[in-house]
Amino acid sequence: MTDEQKLLADASAQLDTAMAELRDHLLIAPLAVWVDVVLRTDPSLHHDLLEWIIGQPECDLSIAQLVFYRANPATYLRRKLTIDPDAPYRDVLCLTIGELAAEGRYASACVGIDRRHVAAAAADLMDAMSVVEPEEWVFEIPDRLLQIASLHVETPDDVWLPEHDDDLLDLYARAGLQIEDNGEGGSDATAAQPNLLLRLKERLRMPLWGNKAAVS
């Protein structure tokens, strides 16, 4: 193993450890923290974390909707893909949430989400649905995903926010989550390495969704 490969392996192990710690953190956190964490993710980079979130029994309708719309379902609907190894990760998130909702998951919403975070994507989806015939959809999008519940939007207490807790700040940075700039540039610099590693790991997984001929 070369020095570069060892460094990559060590960094990858550290990232995996951070993700495991973040999952443990979410399991004891209020749902408002789950919403906050989803908003700090990049759907193109944090696919594994988001897939874990939408599969948890604690994940309610609002959180599933937030992940669904941030993954840009209108683009997926126009592609009319099925779940297969070639589907882009954002599309797989949309497909998985749609199928779980159709099976009866996410029956109720317990936490509110800010409509501003989903309004544009929801409007794009409605436009796409108006031009793509329902019989061409790969699955019927359950009505519950289209109706954003009017619930009070809770802001996590400071104790649950990384901007107010150095240990959480370190965890979120190691997991590559977006952190508000502390005015000294520290948060951006801290998060840069895991984000670069996440991008590299996604590139290494490109045969799952990209052009196989281009990466083989």
Q: What pLDDT does residue 167 have?
A: 92
Q: What pLDDT does residue 67 have?
A: 95
Which tens digit of pLDDT belongs to each residue from 82-125? 444 455 566 778 888 988 998 999 988 999 899 999 999 999 88
pLDDT band at 207 (very low <50, low <70, confident <90, very high): very low
Q: What pLDDT does residue 195 have?
A: 56
Which tens digit of pLDDT belongs to each residue from 119-169? 999 998 888 888 877 776 655 688 888 888 878 888 888 889 988 899 999
Instruction: Tell the residue number behind the tokens 């052009």, with chain if given.
Output: 211
Which tens digit of pLDDT belongs to each residue from 10-37? 777 888 899 999 999 999 999 999 999 9
Query: Between helices 89-102 and 47-55, what is the axis angle to 10°?
Result: 0
How many degrees, rounded to 5, is the angle at CA 199 between CA 198 and CA 202? 85
Which tens digit of pLDDT belongs to each residue from 53-73? 999 999 999 999 999 999 888
* Spatial distance between the Cα atoms of 59 and 159, rounded to a whole number of angstroms: 21
Domain residue ranges in the chain? 12-215
Record the pTM. 0.79
* Spatial distance between the Cα atoms of 142 and 158, rounded to a whole number of angstroms: 35
- The encoded tokens of residue 110 equal 């317990």
Question: Looking at this protein, which amino acid is placed at residue 182?
Answer: N
Tell me the average pLDDT across 186-190: 41
* Spatial distance between the Cα atoms of 67 and 78, rounded to a whole number of angstroms: 18
- Of 77, 90, 156, 187, nearest to 124 (Cα)? 77
Q: What pLDDT does residue 149 have?
A: 81
- Of 113, 204, 40, 57, nearest to 49 (Cα)? 40
